[in-house]
């Protein structure tokens, strides 16, 4: 039971500090605004759109799978190890989704587009101003 309390505390601290870390990284990246020296190609635009669609689909899939696992755990009796495994799977999915979301970069300046939009790809880069 101590492991659950410790893990719960870590999750709470991580969940509470994540928005502040994202804002700090965003403002740090925006210190050095640059002018767009070129427009993006059609292939780059299509890649960004595909990445945005994948981000939305993964987000919806995460909630369906997570809520299904939590509902299954609440309706059937399972061991403590099974609960830890399910929690680990959910946390691994969260880490993967955050990594996938923040990995989208502007093809012109390299700014991480996940810092400026919750889901999908924004209409333009807020660092260099290039339109997508």
Please state the pTM of the whole predicted model: 0.67
Spans of all domains in the chain = 59-132
Residue 78 confidence (pLDDT) above 60:
yes
Contacts of 112 (CB under 8 A, 6+ apart): 25, 29, 102, 103, 104, 105
pLDDT exceeds cutoff 80 at 50:
yes
- Residue pLDDT, tens place only, 65-76: 998 988 888 888
Give helix then strand counts, H and E, for the chain.
3, 0
What is the average pLDDT across 18-24?
73
The one-character DSSP state at 40 is P
Tokens of 5: 């309390």
């Amino acid at each position: 039971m101590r492991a659950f309390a410790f893990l719960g505390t870590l999750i709470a601290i991580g969940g509470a500090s994540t928005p502040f870390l994202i804002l700090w990284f965003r403002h740090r990246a925006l210190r050095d605004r640059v002018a767009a020296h070129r427009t993006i190609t059609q292939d780059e635009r299509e890649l960004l759109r595909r990445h945005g669609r994948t981000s939305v689909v993964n987000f919806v899939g995460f909630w369906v799978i997570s809520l299904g696992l939590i509902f299954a755990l609440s309706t059937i009796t399972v061991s403590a190890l099974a609960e830890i495994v399910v929690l680990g799977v959910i946390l691994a999915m969260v880490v993967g989704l955050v990594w996938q979301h923040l990995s989208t970069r502007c093809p012109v300046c390299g700014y991480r587009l996940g810092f400026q939009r919750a889901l999908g790809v924004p209409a333009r880069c807020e660092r260099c101003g290039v339109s997508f």
